[in-house]
Amino acid sequence: MVSIEQARSRKKAKHGESATHGNAAPATGAASVPAAGRSVRVNGNGNGNGKVEAPLSLKALTVFSNLGKSLGKVVNWYAQLSEVSSEDLCLRYRSKGMEAFQKGRFSLAAESFATLAELRPTDPWATYMLGRALGKSGDTSAAIDWLRKAVTLNPDDAEIHFQLGLFLSHEERLKEAEPEFLEVVKLLPAEPKGHYRLGVVYDKMGEHEKAAKALRRALELRPQSPKINQRLGFVYEGKGDHAEALKYFKKAAELEDSIL
């Protein structure tokens, strides 16, 4: 496992560089968090300008990192001295992370969730939210790593599979995305989103029959969706069935008009 000092050096070396999410440009000040399985470099309260000031509870990092201590041990050690429980610290970083995430400050959110994931390495929610925040801040590769870890911690959580499938799809890693959406369909068969995303993946892979089947099931579950109707139109157009494609395009247009 990479030490805290090594993680710091890697962050400095990668400063200003992040992967793009889809067609979006890298987010300014995107969090640079080591991949899943590595030690996490943690900062404290963000001041909104991309710089993060470490809280008092982390001032001992330098000394302890030289001794080979993990971040979790440092924080727990300081918590004992200051009579702040480890649970209180976890709740603090959970709240800070969610507040930043909801405000769209994904880099700052990733910093808080990174701390939480270090304190609670077996908590699937912490690694799941870290993955989402990293993906939203532009670091799709790291997001996929952390979401894979979250899946291993909680393989029955459909939403983790769904988010992992989305990021894999955005990277055009369709063969890897397929089993994630299949798992979503298995866990949530009455929800249209798993069927829809599975259909999109099959369509991109050129497997039009599978795509049409998945999208028809999504449409059964949500018949008034313009998006599903439109996607089915594209699938049938890809199959060369222009009459069927036109039927779904017209339906999509009617539904969009009714919304307006």
pLDDT digits (tens, 9 = 90+) for 220-236: 999 999 999 999 999 99
Residue 4, pLDDT score: 31
pLDDT band at 16 (very low <50, low <70, confident <90, very high): very low
pLDDT digits (tens, 9 = 90+) for 42-71: 444 443 443 334 444 444 444 444 445 566
CA 24 vs CA 137, 142, 212, 233: distances in Å: 10, 16, 29, 27
What CATH number should be reported for the domain whose range is 155-260?
1.25.40.10
- 82 or 252: whose pLDDT is higher? 252
pLDDT digits (tens, 9 = 90+) for 105-143: 999 999 999 999 999 999 999 999 999 999 999 999 999
Provide the residue ranges of all domains of the chain, joining segments of one domain with +: 1-140, 155-260
Tokens of 141: 């590769």
pTM: 0.70
Taking every pair of Cα atoms in the chain, the longest distance, rounded to a whole number of angstroms, is 73
Beta partners for residue 46, in sequence order:
52
- What's the CA dihedral at 101, 107, 112, 117 to 10 degrees? 100
